[in-house]
Structure 1
Amino acid sequence: MYAATASLVSAAGDYRWLLDQGYPQTASLKLVGDRHRLERDERLVLFRGVSAAAASASRRALVSDTARGRTLLVDGYNQAFAVMHYLAGRPVFLSSDGLLRDAGASHGRISDRALFSRSLAILAGAIAAACPSDVTACFDSPVPFSADHAREFERELRAAGLEATCLAVRSADAALIAALETAAPGTSVASADSVIADALIVRASAAGGRPVVFDAARFAIEREFGQRTWLDFGAVLDRPDPPPPCP
């Protein structure tokens, strides 16, 4: 289980304060990372784990622990990589917006194909257990063997009794956001991508039937291995005595 250093916890408060003031993300990360002498992994954890307070609250309001009876759109690599990185012992944590993210930094590279296949199987089993009405999953085609991965995931889902379509597309983000434009009210999305979550927020304000973000990766890990004690940036930053900002 990934545990934060005191420096990372303190840096999270500084970084959140800068984001809340509207400072650029990249410059803020460098400033805070240098000040607290953070390692490379810690900077990536901070970047993926902490968002501005308003954005965090808006996304967190959409997070659900169920997809029962809903159409489910799945960000294939986003969710499968989170499971894979957990299995590989890379940093996995709850971000300030309530979504499980990782700092695996694989950049679409899959060095252990057996481990990735296991991750797909764990994820598919968990999605089936969540009982959505149907599933559409998108995998980014620039990733090598993406078409094979899409077919493998579709086989796993169909073997579990789900109506499923899995596709290799140029951009999973773009495909899922486009699908949201015509999706039925109440559609769920399994993704920890902030761009997709923010698109879901826009749809929530424009259509009836509250859409939700289903954290399939977290559900899959905890279904397979039991409840985890995650590093939770939401809890760290929202506690009564949060880390003070930079002087």
Structure 2
Amino acid sequence: MSRRGYVPEDEMQFSGRTLELLQKAADEVQFLLDKGYDIKPVTTFVGNHYMFSERQRLALARSVSAKEYVQTRSSKELLQNRKGLIPKIVHRDGFNTIITLEVALSGSPVFYCRDGVLRDLAGLRGTYRIIDKSREAVELLLRQLKSLNISNAVFYLDAPVSNSGRLSEFHACAIY
């Protein structure tokens, strides 16, 4: 059994009292970002104060954004558009979507970020391999699209990424 994005220390670093400290730190990072400071020095500064690991600092950097950015991003959400209409066609980054689902199905941390996006810490850069959760992730995604009555979805899979062809073959056996 493969566990995408799994690090044994995650259970200790992202639960209980430590999770409470991360949430407090996220408020402090948010405050500084809203004042115009850059994310890297802010997460370093706040991370040093709380003696966070690099992985905890990465979680902070990935999960907090300046309020101005969050407002801009939310104004572009398709399902929250002005008339509440479901779009006829949805375009998705296939790897980001599938990898995040695989991480969640693996029991590894996935964060609901302040900009309304789910993010993981898997950190796959240009490499991808099919795992035992891949087919389930594709099927889950397609079932969700169907439940939203989205009739046409385009998934972009970067050709330079290894195994992108193998992942694209799953659509033939998925329920949609």
TM-score of the alignment, normalized to the shorter chain, above 0.5: yes
Within a 5 Å distance, the mapping from 1:207-226 to structure 2 comes to: none
**What amino acid is the match of 1:38?**
F
- Is 2:61 the partner of 1:47? yes
**What amino acid is the match of 2:64?**
V
In structure 1, which of residues 60, 81, 93 is the aligned counterpart of residue 111 of structure 2? Answer: 93
Distance (Å, rounded) in 2 between the aligned partners of 1:113 and 1:26: 32
Work out whether residues 29 and 47 of structure 1, in 8 Å CA contact, stay in contact via their aligned partners in 2.
yes
TM-aligned CA distance change 1:67 to 1:46, over 3 Å? farther
- Is 2:133 the partner of 1:149? no
**Runs (5+) with no aligned partner, structure 1:** 161-247
**What amino acid is the match of 2:168?**
A
Distance (Å, rounded) in 1 between the aligned partners of 2:86 and 2:173: 18
**What amino acid is the match of 2:52?**
L
> Superposition RMSD on alpha carbons, in Å?
2.5
Aligned residues: 158
For residues 119-138 of structure 1, the C-alpha deviation after alignment (integer angstroms, 9 at most, x for no partner) is 11211221222222312110
**What amino acid is the match of 1:130?**
L
The structural deviation recorded for 1:61 is 3.5
Give TM-score, length-normalised by structure 2.
0.77
- Between 1:120-129 and 1:71-80, the stretch displaced more is 120-129
- Between 1:63-72 and 1:79-88, the stretch displaced more is 63-72
- Is 2:37 the partner of 1:23? yes
Give TM-score, length-normalised by structure 1.
0.57
For residues 173-232 of structure 1, the C-alpha deviation after alignment (integer angstroms, 9 at most, x for no partner) is xxxxxxxxxxxxxxxxxxxxxxxxxxxxxxxxxxxxxxxxxxxxxxxxxxxxxxxxxxxx
Within a 5 Å distance, the mapping from 1:51-90 to structure 2 comes to: 51-63=65-77, 64=79, 68-90=86-108
Aligned twin of 2:4: none
The structural deviation recorded for 1:156 is 4.7
Secondary structure of the 1:124 match is helix
